[in-house]
């Protein structure tokens, strides 16, 4: 069963999501790359207001790619979550309710996600062009000087995701590793 989820996310919706759930996410999401993460956390350190209100929002660890003729964006593939782990807790503290990426998260990030009631969605890597078809609108939201790593606001319709980590301690990747070890006799 696919759960249809809309942004902005609420605590009530996040509460219903469990590791392994298949989700069709619709609404606004924000691309936040390495450079944009660093800049956002620096702003917070200086006591400055963020250029984008991230309360109850979902951020997508992705960068802009060249846009082919007749399309609104190039590919929309996820980047590795662990690269953002040093910055993630600070942004969760600003009200971020969901992140989209690929790969594992550090224990400190998973703890911060439970504390701030946020969920980690996994996007399938290797199908970036296909994922871009679920993005219906693109708008530059902040930091144009960062070029491809600027923050973009995407409007998604039924973006296919899987809940990797939930607020209840569910961890799809850990469960998968355990299941694999059992089948291998380890």
Please report, for the domain that includes residue 18, its CATH number: 3.20.130.10
pLDDT of 73 reads: 87
Place of tokens 């969760």: 92
Its domain, for residue 98, covers 2-183
pLDDT of 181 reads: 57
Segment (H or E) for 77? none
The tally of domains found in the chain comes to 1
**Tens digits of pLDDT across the chain (186 residues):** 899 999 999 999 999 999 999 999 999 999 999 999 999 999 999 999 999 999 999 999 998 888 889 888 888 888 889 999 999 999 999 999 999 999 889 999 999 999 999 999 998 766 778 888 899 999 999 999 999 899 999 999 999 999 999 999 999 877 666 555 566 565
The structure's pTM equals 0.91
Per-residue CA distances from 74 to 35, 85, 129, 133, 138 (Å): 20, 26, 7, 9, 11
Q: Per DSSP, what are the bridge partners of residue 138?
A: 154
185's CB contacts (< 8 A; 6+ apart) are none
In angstroms, rounded to a whole number, what is the distance separating the alpha carbons of residues 35 and 40?
9
pLDDT of 41 reads: 95
In angstroms, rounded to a whole number, what is the distance separating the alpha carbons of residues 41 and 136?
29
In angstroms, rounded to a whole number, what is the distance separating the alpha carbons of residues 103 and 61?
11
């Amino acid at each position: 069963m696919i759960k249809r989820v809309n942004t902005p996310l609420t605590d009530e919706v996040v509460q219903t999501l469990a590791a392994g759930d298949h989700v069709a996410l619709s609404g606004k999401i924000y691309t936040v790359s390495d450079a944009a993460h660093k800049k956002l956390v620096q702003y917070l350190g200086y006591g400055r207001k963020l250029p984008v209100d991230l309360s109850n929002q979902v951020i997508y660890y992705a960068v802009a790619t060249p846009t082919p003729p007749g399309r609104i964006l190039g590919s929309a593939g996820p980047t590795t979550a662990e690269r953002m782990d040093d910055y993630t807790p600070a942004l969760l503290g600003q009200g971020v309710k969901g992140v989209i990426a690929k790969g594992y998260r550090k224990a400190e990030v998973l703890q911060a996600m439970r504390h701030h009631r946020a969920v980690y969605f996994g996007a399938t890597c290797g199908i970036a062009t296909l994922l871009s078809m679920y993005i219906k609108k693109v708008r530059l939201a902040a930091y144009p000087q960062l070029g491809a790593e600027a923050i973009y606001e995407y409007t998604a319709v039924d973006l296919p995701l899987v809940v990797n980590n939930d607020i209840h301690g569910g961890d799809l990747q850990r469960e998968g590793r355990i299941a694999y070890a059992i089948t291998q006799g380890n």
